[in-house]
Amino acid sequence: MERYAGALEEVADGARQQERHYQLLSALQSLVKELPSSFQQRLSYTTLSDLALALLDGTVFEIVQGLLEIQHLTEKSLYNQRLRLQNEHRVLRQALRQKHQEAQQACRPHNLPVLQAAQQQELQAVEHRIHEEQRAMDRKIVLELDRKVADQQSTLEKAGVAGFYVTTNPQELMLQMNLLELIRKLQQRGCRAGKAALGLGGPWQPPAAQCDQKGSPVPP
């Protein structure tokens, strides 16, 4: 009798899983219509079905939210680093201008042309240094963001999310961005509607307490 009850429970679980998969797939197909036609053509039924399977237990939603939070923190940190560098350069330029002005005021007229020539060389050297430091910072930012993208791709690939693998191909990157947007919108839809969203009521849905007033997921 217990064996029979267990078998019935397995069948019921399988049916619930199938229903959740169908509802997720239908929601994804609806959201895909909002994308540019060029990307709609690349998101086949098989790709969307595989994506829906990966989303069933809710783990991928949590992974994506965590990755986006890390990305935002990284971008904020890099922005602040560049801002600090710009402020340092502004202070450096101001100090140099003041130094040159004071030197010219104290200089005898017949020595002024020599002083101005030397100051011009110093100014050019400082501007060159500033330019090189800005270029180095920009390279650092690009490399750091590229590393974060590769980390995201690798993490989602290991999680079994369809369409994700480590690549630098611009078209593939854009496709992956669209897939992330689909997942994010699906999560927001679940947040707004609570457990009744899409008729799923399953474990994949984010708790309503983790959504802001606009229905956007927020950190716990």
* Number of independent structural domains in the chain: 1
pTM of the model: 0.72
Q: How far is CA 44 from the centre of its chain?
A: 24
In a domain, 217, yes or no: no
Confidence of residue 6 (pLDDT cuts 50, 70, 90): low
In a domain, 206, yes or no: no
d(C-alpha 44, C-alpha 47), whole Å: 5
The answer, yes or no, to whether residue 10 has pLDDT greater than 80, is no
The answer, yes or no, to whether residue 209 has pLDDT greater than 90, is no
Lowest mean pLDDT among 63-77, 86-100, 151-165, 190-204: 190-204
Encoded tokens for 210: 């983790």
Q: How far is CA 18 from the centre of its chain?
A: 31
In a domain, 141, yes or no: yes
In a domain, 214, yes or no: no
Confidence (pLDDT) at 112 = 93
In a domain, 204, yes or no: no
pLDDT digits (tens, 9 = 90+) for 36-47: 888 888 888 999
The answer, yes or no, to whether residue 219 has pLDDT greater than 80, is no
Confidence (pLDDT) at 196 = 40
d(C-alpha 60, C-alpha 66), whole Å: 10
Which residues constitute the domain of residue 6? 1-193
The answer, yes or no, to whether residue 81 has pLDDT greater than 50, is yes
Rounded average pLDDT over 131-150: 96
In a domain, 210, yes or no: no
d(C-alpha 39, C-alpha 28), whole Å: 13
By the 10 Å C-beta count (0-12 exposed, 13-18 middle, 19+ buried), 189 is classed as: middle
In a domain, 219, yes or no: no
In a domain, 145, yes or no: yes
- Backbone conformation region of residue 215, classed left if phi is above 0, alpha if psi is from -120 to 50, else beta: left
Q: How far is CA 123 from the centre of its chain?
A: 39
d(C-alpha 14, C-alpha 2), whole Å: 18
pLDDT digits (tens, 9 = 90+) for 148-207: 999 999 999 999 999 999 999 999 999 999 999 999 988 887 755 433 434 444 433 433
